[in-house]
Chain A
Amino acid sequence: MYPSNLRYTKEHEWIKVEGNFGTVGITDFAQNELGDIVFVELPAVGRQLKSGESFGTVESVKAVSEIYSPISGEVAENNAKLNDAPETINKDPHGAGWLVKLRITNAAEVQGLMDAAAYQAFISEKKDH
């Protein structure tokens, strides 16, 4: 279910690291919890983000969710296609529904994130409560 080439946070973001770049989105669990997503606010290209910093919001009909950067980096690209099609996050949260691409400034931070198995265990625990 959760791709093994991604790393995950407790706030339900994922990051896919390729070289010096990391693509960030929200997980399938997060999009399902939110329901129909209707609005996305993304950071401008060039913005410097620290690990754990809030960089935008994803809103569903019912709720607003802040998005936190899994690691430190500079925003290299944002997914402007989501402005007109925010529901892409519901349909393909780990793919076309990506939010930003970061130029990674501290690669070591990736080691502190969960792998797919750990994240799966983390959300199973949440579902039981």
Chain B
Amino acid sequence: MSAPVTEQIRKTALNSVHRRMGAKMVNFGGWDMPIEYSGIIAEHNAVRKAAGLFDVSHMGEIVIHGPGALALTQHVTCNDAARLSKGQAHYSGLMTAQGTFVDDILVHRMGEEHFYLCVNASNQDKDFDHIAANNQFGAKVENVGEYYTQLALQGPKALQILQRFTETPLESIKYYRFLHGKIQGEEAMIARTGYTGEDGFEIYFAPEHSEKIWYALLASGEPDGLLPIGLGARNTLRLEAGMCLYGHEIDDTTTVWEANLGWICKMDKGDFLGRGALAAQWEKGLRRVLVGFEVQDRMIARDGCPVFAESGEVGRVTSGSPAPFLKKNIGMAYVPVAMNVPGTEIRIGIRNQQAAARVVPVPFYKRKK
């Protein structure tokens, strides 16, 4: 057996900026990332009420292009990439042959045979290898994460703040659409996407412009209530919005049906990796399904806590946390299908106690449009 290689911790182009700003830093999937600046609750509520700026450059990007690009994208993902028009993006799953998740990803269609995938930081190398290994279509596959800084500007005031830095009329970019424009004079891809449950943008540009754009946005947005946001609030925001996190709600043991993500799986698009297994599971019926719950008393359910019904332990919490905007203790868990009914009473094992909880509809939070 060979000795494990100690990998050096990776840093985004804004690493020294985060440290200078006094952010609390953590090792997140091999990346040295800010977990919070001013505090998770203040940051979370700034995104709900005003706006927040996130450095999410740890996210990976993979490009599939050239002849065979559509065929390869269709083969490895479960959503129907053929339905995307140029300048449109969708949420999708990168599939194993068993119909489980290698990763959950955003697929942007740049051209007929040109796709730009945004993937999870800790999965990017695995994703790239998986796509390359399944490339019997002659497409070009490139792992391009290091060439991009990705910032997310999210919240009800995101549009008005970003508009000060670009001539592109942002109102013209519809939800899950993107285009190429300029921000602060620099080339950027501007997508109306996000992971917070709010309106907002994710922007991709060359790392050398990172500090300039970061500081310009923060300074301009400060009077609007814009705050820099760490990964702590990124997690509570996505949880309130009922969004899955790889390694928690989904992984290579869970399927789209179990995770309530049937809407990203297009069984009628033709064959793809894992389609047979997914068809078989659908036919056979599910054993477990992902639900949202609210803890009834003051205790906080955390990731990994056991879920109990009268019959005993029935599942585990995948994500559990206080919800800073809703001011409730919420979570998601896999439970037997029969319990997938709002109002169903469950108990969550928290330390040596069992806290009363109730199944509730997901998302927990939905913004007013």
Interface residues of A (CB under 8 A from B): 35-36, 38-39, 57, 59-62, 64, 83
Contacts and interface: CB of A to CB of B under 8 A. Distances in A.
A61 B35 contact: no
B298 interface: yes
A63 to B, nearest CB: 9
Given A61-B40, A62-B40, A62-B232, A38 B302 contact: no
B351 A61 contact: no
Interface residues of B, number: 17
A36 B351 contact: no
A61 B232 contact: yes
A41 B39 CA distance: 22
A39 B300 contact: yes
Contacts of A35: 24, 36, 39-40, 232
Contact of A57 (B42, B324, B351): B351
A59 B324 CA distance: 14
Contacts of B24: 35
Given A35-B232, A38-B322, A61 B298 contact: no
A61 B299 contact: no
A14 B367 CA distance: 43
Given A35-B232, A60-B40, 5 more contacts: A35-B36, A39-B298, A61-B41, A61-B322, A62-B321
Nearest to B36: A35
A61 B321 contact: yes
B236 interface: yes
Contacts of B298: 39, 83
Nearest to A90: B39
B300 A38 contact: yes
Nearest to B24: A35
A117 to B, nearest CB: 25
Nearest to B44: A61
A63 B36 CA distance: 13
A39 B327 CA distance: 12
Interface string B25-36: 000000000011
A39 B347 CA distance: 19
B281 to A, nearest CB: 35
Nearest to A66: B351
Contacts of A83: 298
A117 B298 CA distance: 37
Contacts of B35: 62
A38 B232 CA distance: 14
A88 to B, nearest CB: 14
Contacts of B42: 36
A57 to B, nearest CB: 7
B41 A36 contact: yes
Contacts of A39: 298-300, 322
A60 B40 CA distance: 9
A50 B322 CA distance: 32
A67 to B, nearest CB: 13
A38 B329 CA distance: 10
A64 B39 CA distance: 16
A37 B299 CA distance: 13
Nearest to A32: B24
B316 to A, nearest CB: 17
B302 A36 contact: no
Contacts of A57: 351
A83 B298 CA distance: 9
Interface string B282-324: 0000000000000000111010000000000000000001101
Nearest to A61: B40
A97 B263 CA distance: 48
Interface string B317-349: 000011010000000000000000000000000
